[in-house]
Structure formats: C-alpha cells, structure tokens
Amino acid sequence: MPLVAPSLLASDFLHLEEECKMVNESDADWFHLDVMDGRFVPNISFGIPVIEHIRKIAKKTCDVHLMIEEPEKLTEAFRKAGADQLIVHIETCRNLHSNIQQIKSLGMKAGVAINPHTPVEMLYDILEDIHHVCVMSVNPGFGGQTFIPHTLKKIRNLKRAIHERGLHVLIEVDGGVTLQNAKSIVYAGADVLVAGNTVFKSPNPKTTISELKFIQV
C-alpha cells in the first residue's frame, strides 16, 4: 500500500484552507509542497510565508520539495516554517552530503530528488544517509505533465540497490501520476505517490486519494 502525497501546487489557492482540510480528512499521508525559484526551474511557485500558513492547518507530514538553487541558505528557514521533511535536488547541491547532514541536524528527514536525465546510480553513495528519494517522472517546474515511461526502469534499479544494501529508503515518484499508471509505478517499487492534478482536478478528490492509496498491485 503506497503512501499518497497530494501536491498542493495543483490546488485552488483561492480556497487553500479548504483544500488543506480536505487533505487532512482524506486517506492521504503527506502534504507535498513544491518550492520553485525561477532559476533552477523555469517557474516560481510559493515559499516560506505560504508554508507557514499551510502548517497551521496541516495535520499530516509536510514534505517540502526545494526546486531551488543554493538550498542550504534557506534550510533553517523552511524548518521554522514547518517542514517535517526537506527534499533537495542532487543537481543543485555541490556538497550533497553536507546538505543532507544540515537537514538532519535541524531535526528534519532528508530527501534527495533526481531529474529525469540524472542516473539513479549517482545516489548510491548517499542512500544510507537519507529518508527518501524523490524520482522526478517529469521535467520539474510545471504540473500537469505526462509521465516519462523510462522512469519505471529507474525505480526498479533504485529499489534493487536499496534492497541490496539492506536499507529502508522510501522511493517517492513525482510527476504525471494518474489512476491509470499508479499500479505500474507501485509495482516497479514506488513507496510514495505524489499526485497534483489527478487529485485536485478530480470531481471527488477524497475518493481519488483513496483509490491511489488502496490500489491493488
């Protein structure tokens, strides 16, 4: 049974409080919060003030995904804003191990994200230091994109490496997750499904979350 992390990037920001309450009342496990700086990715989303307000309502884990340059400069600020877990991109961290240690020293769980073009083998030396890997199954920056099929092979390879090392690192898949492809994603080895449009554009978001959560593999 996968964990489900609705991505608030796809929510109705005019009714953000109601959207957060819906996630609280649903079978979802985490809030997935995408932070974009317009530098690392060609888009700007929301930042610390919005996360502070979400944290006041959110009753579940806040999984904050930093798609930003120089994340180490804002790590402590995101902790204070309410992040329980902080994801940094391997592509933006010159000293990734240092970034991970910084996150953990501040009491958060550390995650590392990889873009579609980045080989999962680049993560092998730091797997034992992290809580989860966020495998990007679309190019980061915009919601509503189509799942990249090659991601399934990356998930399988990563799952094998985790098992061979006897680790308990979660694999989170972010981008293009739908009710139609979720089964194959979980079957490949995903532990966490990030879903944006699939949830928030659904006629019944709570039902959709439940269908993702209790998908039969």
Q: Measured between alpha carbons, how far is 45 from 84 in angstroms, rounded to an integer?
A: 19
Mean pLDDT per 10-residue segment, the chain (217 residues): 97 97 98 95 92 97 97 98 98 96 98 96 96 94 80 97 97 96 98 97 98 92
The H or E element that residue 35 is part of is: strand 30-36
Residue 144, pLDDT score: 67
- pTM here? 0.96
Residue 46, pLDDT score: 93
**Please, what sign has the CA dihedral across residues 50, 55, 56, 57?**
positive
Are 194 and 5 in contact by the 8 Å Cβ rule? The answer is: yes
Indicate the number of domains in the chain: 1
Tokens of 151: 């991601």
- The residues annotated with a catalytic role in the active site are 34, 174
Q: Measured between alpha carbons, how far is 56 from 172 in angstroms, rounded to an integer?
A: 25
User: Looking at residue 158, which CATH number applies to its domain?
Assistant: 3.20.20.70
If you ran DSSP here, which 8-state letter would residue 56 be given?
Answer: H
Question: What range defines the domain where residue 25 resides?
Answer: 3-213
Residue 123, pLDDT score: 95
68 residue type, one letter: I
